[in-house]
A = this chain, B = another copy of it.
Amino acid sequence: MQGVTAAAGFRAAGVTAGLKASGKPDLAVVVNDGPAQAAAAVFTANRVAAAPVHWSREVVKDGRVDAVILNSGGANACTGPEGFQDTHRTAEEVAAQLGLSATDVVVCSTGLIGERLPMDKLLGGATQAISVLSEDGGPDAAASIMTTDTVPKQAVRTGSGYTLGGMAKGAGMLAPALATMLVVITTDAALNPGQLDVALRAATGVSFDRADSDGCMSTNDTVVLMASGASGVTPDQAEFTELLAGLCTDLALQLLADAEGASHDIAINTINAASVEDALEVSKSVARSNLFKTAIFGNDPNWGRVLSAVGTTQAAFEAQDLNVAINGVQVCRRGGVGEDRSLVDLASSRDVLVTIDLGAGSSQATIWTNDLTHDYVEENSAYSS
A residues touching B (Cβ–Cβ < 8 Å)?
A: 45-49, 75, 77-80, 83, 112-115, 173, 214-219, 288-291, 294-295, 297-298, 300, 302-305, 307-313, 317, 319-320, 322, 332, 334-337, 341, 372-374, 376-378, 380-382, 384-385
User: How far, in angstroms, from A336 to B114 measured CA to CA in the complex?
Assistant: 6
Q: Which 7 A-B pairs have the closest CB atoms?
A: A113-B304, A298-B381, A48-B311, A80-B336, A294-B380, A46-B311, A47-B311
Q: Which residues of B contact A317 (CB under 8 A)?
A: 47
User: How far, in angstroms, from A382 to B380 measured CA to CA in the complex?
Assistant: 21
Q: Which residues of B contact A378 (CB under 8 A)?
A: 374
Are A216 and B291 interface neighbours, CB within 8 A? Answer: yes
User: How far, in angstroms, from A310 to B384 measured CA to CA in the complex?
Assistant: 18
Are A217 and B312 interface neighbours, CB within 8 A? Answer: yes
User: How far, in angstroms, from A295 to B320 measured CA to CA in the complex?
Assistant: 40
Are A337 and B114 interface neighbours, CB within 8 A? Answer: yes
Closest chain-B Cβ to A310's Cβ sits at a distance in Å of 6
Q: Which residues of B contact A295 (CB under 8 A)?
A: 380-381, 384
Q: Which residues of B contact A309 (CB under 8 A)?
A: 216
Are B216 and A308 interface neighbours, CB within 8 A? Answer: yes
**Among B47, B214, B290, which residue has its beta carbon within 8 angstroms of that of A291?**
B214
User: How far, in angstroms, from A173 to B48 measured CA to CA in the complex?
Assistant: 29
**Among B302, B308, B372, which residue has its beta carbon within 8 angstroms of that of A384?**
B302
Q: Which residues of B contact A308 (CB under 8 A)?
A: 46, 48, 77, 113, 216-219
Given A308-B48, A308-B217, A372–B290 Cβ distance below 8 Å? yes
Of all chain B residues, the one with the shortest Cβ separation from A82 is B336
Are B46 and A216 interface neighbours, CB within 8 A? Answer: no
Closest chain-B Cβ to A188's Cβ sits at a distance in Å of 36
Extra inter-chain contacts (4) besides given A302-B385, A372-B377, CB under 8 Å: A48-B310, A215-B290, A219-B307, A290-B376
User: How far, in angstroms, from A49 to B115 measured CA to CA in the complex?
Assistant: 47
Q: List 25 A-B contacts (CB under 8 A).
A: A46-B308, A78-B332, A78-B335, A78-B336, A78-B337, A79-B336, A80-B335, A80-B337, A113-B303, A113-B305, A114-B303, A115-B337, A214-B291, A215-B288, A215-B290, A216-B309, A217-B308, A219-B307, A291-B380, A294-B376, A295-B381, A295-B384, A297-B381, A300-B381, A300-B384
Q: Which residues of B contact A376 (CB under 8 A)?
A: 290, 294, 377
Are B112 and A304 interface neighbours, CB within 8 A? Answer: yes
User: How far, in angstroms, from A80 to B113 measured CA to CA in the complex?
Assistant: 49
Of all chain B residues, the one with the shortest Cβ separation from A309 is B216
Are B307 and A48 interface neighbours, CB within 8 A? Answer: yes
Q: Which residues of B contact A303 (CB under 8 A)?
A: 78, 113-114
Of all chain B residues, the one with the shortest Cβ separation from A335 is B78
User: How far, in angstroms, from A326 to B157 measured CA to CA in the complex?
Assistant: 48
Q: Which residues of B contact A381 (CB under 8 A)?
A: 294-295, 297-298, 300
Given A114-B337, A218-B308, A303-B114, A48–B291 Cβ distance below 8 Å? no
User: How far, in angstroms, from A137 to B219 measured CA to CA in the complex?
Assistant: 54
Are A319 and B380 interface neighbours, CB within 8 A? Answer: no
Are B377 and A294 interface neighbours, CB within 8 A? Answer: yes
Are A291 and B173 interface neighbours, CB within 8 A? Answer: yes
Q: Which residues of B contact A384 (CB under 8 A)?
A: 295, 300, 302
Q: Which residues of B contact A173 (CB under 8 A)?
A: 291
Q: Which residues of B contact A374 (CB under 8 A)?
A: 374, 377-378
Q: Which residues of B contact A115 (CB under 8 A)?
A: 337
